[in-house]
Amino acid sequence: MVDSILLEFMMIGLLGVGSQWIAWRFRLPAIVVMSIIGLLAGPILGLIDPEQDFGNLYRPFVSMAVAIILFEGSLNLNLNEIRGLGKPVFRIVTWGALASWLLGSLTAHYIAGLSWAVSFVIGAIFIVTGPTVILPLLRQSKLKPRPAKILKWEGIIVDPFGALLAVFAFEVVVFFASETATLVSLLLFILAAIFAVILGFAFGRMIGWTFEAGKVPEYLKSSGVLIAVIACFTIADEVSHETGLLAVTAMGMTLANMGIASIRQMRHFKEDISVLLVSAIFIMLTASLTRETLIQVFNPEIIGYVLLMLFLVRPLSIFLSTIGTDLKIQEKILVGWIAPRGIVALTVASYFASVLVDGGFADAEIVTSLTFALVFFTVVAHGFSIGWLAKKLGLSSKGKPGVLIVGSNQFSVAFTKVLKDLNIPTLITDSSWERLYKARQIGLDCHHGEILSEQTEFTLDMTPYDYLIAATEYDAYNALVSSTFVPEFGRKDVYRLSIQHNSGDNLQDMDHTIGGRILFYRDVALDDLTHKVEIGYVFRKTTLTEQYTFKDYQKNCRPHTVLLFLLKENGVLQFFTEENPVTPEVGDVLVSLTPPTQEIDE
């Protein structure tokens, strides 16, 4: 056991972030890796026990972390976009959530053997799926837009309300179970909940007004919002326990619907904080579990509960709520299967488990084991089956990893056409309908709209695309697009064309600070590429074999040829860049822009 609190903090941070990195590196569900690492560090090896070591600080820290995570999720609740999501999504997040709550509560009572009071509380918690586990799965599985859109928005919308529903269920349970509770106490809680909503709304409006009026400098905005979230949560929670979650959700929704110009930057900051908190809290929660809790996971009642939640409650709630909608049976099967529970479910359930036990509900002692079993098994089952099931149901985006190209011009249109001919999913987007004319004319997939608009994330499904290329004629705009989408695509998969020689922009001094890699070579900019296309350069596809290797290709390569990318046998694209040179191998398809006298494919 570690006997230094400082050392334990360090270990929690390293284990949490390290788990996230391992999950990213090996394409594994992060929550599975964090669960295993936390269990190894806690009950199995006995290295750390945060709940015991942190003492009275443990629960306030967990509560505050959950509040920040819920606030970050509620920043996505823009009511204008929610109204346009369609009938199926509305049904699932309303009637589907209600059906899931009732069915889950019945299952908890009759199968897991919990009292009605505890069953209704955890039934409310388990309606959540959560964007922290859903969004990585969607990017990994490459679902078609309709099912991906439904799962994405169900996770974002239902995630904060699951915890709030649990709060109300808990207060009602306390009201009916406590001999000292009166109708006045229940009404006081309802008034406290209303106060929490008003408080959250007031905090959101105040933050929004000060930001828009220029009362807060840019460098203080993110930290100011973070402190405001903590203050809002604490004030509401001091007035009435558990209403703090309601307050921060109302605050986040208020900010999301104010149309604040800097909301994207705040969202990125909150996402970074949430990732850190999710990592730390999940390690802390799993490491604080006892061996008795782990043994309880394998109780027949808990196993039976998990199986029914997987194979009965979730599918039935989806099928019942989508009756009369235009969802196909394949889409209902997929959505009815995919419902991984995540960090919010585990943190909130762990919190309520201790609160319920303190309130005299002895059966709540198994809630932590029950929750951990549901979280772990759903993430493992859904994380490793979503891709396979989507392919079997014909709901997977076919083809290889896709490319999103920003900017329609002579070179980008021709380049997109080459990618499409190789069966690579492509989309070319531009804010000008006229500039998209050529792309539309030759049958390329196009999107007309401003890629930097906040509406884009709701109107444009980016799930099929692994790479982004900023290829407009404006260097500064390319830099802005690259920096904006680095958090979503990752720095290694965001590219921009080199700065043009005759554009008039003077960005060389800040080139190293701009997000995204320079595509191809620094001395080959858009004006060079466009000129080559205009004078007849052609895109050439060469398959490398044992008889015709890359060395042979280099010997025959004509001067001024531009090597563009490699298409690997597994469908992965590797673009030629100066920062990270690629190594062509036998079986690769090498695509280049060659002088017009060399047009015959090898």
Strand partners, 404: 427, 468
Q: What is the dihedral of CA 285, 286, 289, 295, to 10 degrees?
A: 150
Residue 398 in 3-state DSSP? coil
pLDDT at 103: 93
DSSP 8-state class, residue 520: B
pLDDT at 82: 55
- Cα-based distances in Å from 227 to 70, 209, 245: 15, 16, 15
- Tell me how many helices (H) and strands (E) the chain has: 26, 10
Whether 357 and 293 have beta carbons less than 8 Å apart is answered as no
Query: Which residues of the chain register pLDDT less than 50?
Result: 504, 599-602
Residue 317 in 3-state DSSP? helix
Task: Give the per-residue SS3 of 495-541.
Answer: EECECCCCCCCCCHHHHHHCCCEECECCCCEHHHHHHHHHCCCEEEE
- Predicted TM-score of the model (pTM): 0.68
Whether 576 and 550 have beta carbons less than 8 Å apart is answered as no
Q: How far apart are CA 333 and CA 596, in angstroms?
A: 52
- Cα-based distances in Å from 222 to 63, 103, 115, 156, 214: 20, 41, 43, 21, 14
Q: What does the block give as tokens for 383?
A: 């994380």
Whether the CA torsion 188, 192, 194, 198 is positive or negative: it is: positive
542: Cβ contacts below 8 Å, ≥ 6 apart? 548, 553, 589, 590, 591, 592, 601, 602
| Residues 15-44: b if buried by 16+ CB within 10 A, e if exposed | bbeebbeebeeeebbbbbbbbbbbbebbbe
- Cα-based distances in Å from 87 to 93, 96, 97, 496: 10, 12, 14, 39
Element (H, E) at 564: strand 562-567
Q: Helix %, strand %, coil % for the chain, to 5? A: 65, 10, 30
Angle between helices 58-74 and 343-358 (to 10 degrees): 140
491: Cβ contacts below 8 Å, ≥ 6 apart? 515, 516, 517
Transcribe 436-457 into DSSP letters. Answer: THHHHHTT--EEES-TTSTTHH
Q: What does the block give as tokens for 331?
A: 């889409």
pLDDT at 392: 85
Whether 506 and 442 have beta carbons less than 8 Å apart is answered as no
pLDDT at 316: 93
Q: What does the block give as tokens for 248?
A: 């921060």
| CA angle 433–438–439, rounded 5-degree value | 80
Q: How far apart are CA 569 and CA 575, in angstroms?
A: 15
Single out the residue of 189, 187, 172, 196 nearest to residue 359, CA to CA.
172
Q: How far apart are CA 315 and CA 330, in angstroms?
A: 12
225: Cβ contacts below 8 Å, ≥ 6 apart? 207, 255, 266, 269, 270
| Residues 264-287: b if buried by 16+ CB within 10 A, e if exposed | bebbebbbebbbbbbbbbbbbbbb
582: Cβ contacts below 8 Å, ≥ 6 apart? 566, 574, 575, 576
Q: What does the block give as tokens for 77?
A: 């609740």
Q: How far apart are the first and last CA of the chain?
A: 64
Query: What architecture (CATH level 2) is domain 5-392?
Result: Up-down Bundle (1.20)
Q: How far apart are CA 197 and CA 191, in angstroms?
A: 10
Q: What does the block give as tokens for 337?
A: 């299967």
pLDDT at 601: 45
- Cα-based distances in Å from 529 to 152, 357, 386, 418: 38, 69, 41, 15
Q: How far apart are CA 157 and CA 154, in angstroms?
A: 5
Query: What architecture (CATH level 2) is domain 402-594?
Result: 3-Layer(aba) Sandwich (3.40)
Rg (CA), the chain: 27
Domain boundaries defined on the chain = 5-392, 402-594
Q: How far apart are CA 468 and CA 492, in angstroms?
A: 10
71: Cβ contacts below 8 Å, ≥ 6 apart? 229, 248, 249, 251, 252, 270
Residue 574 in 3-state DSSP? strand
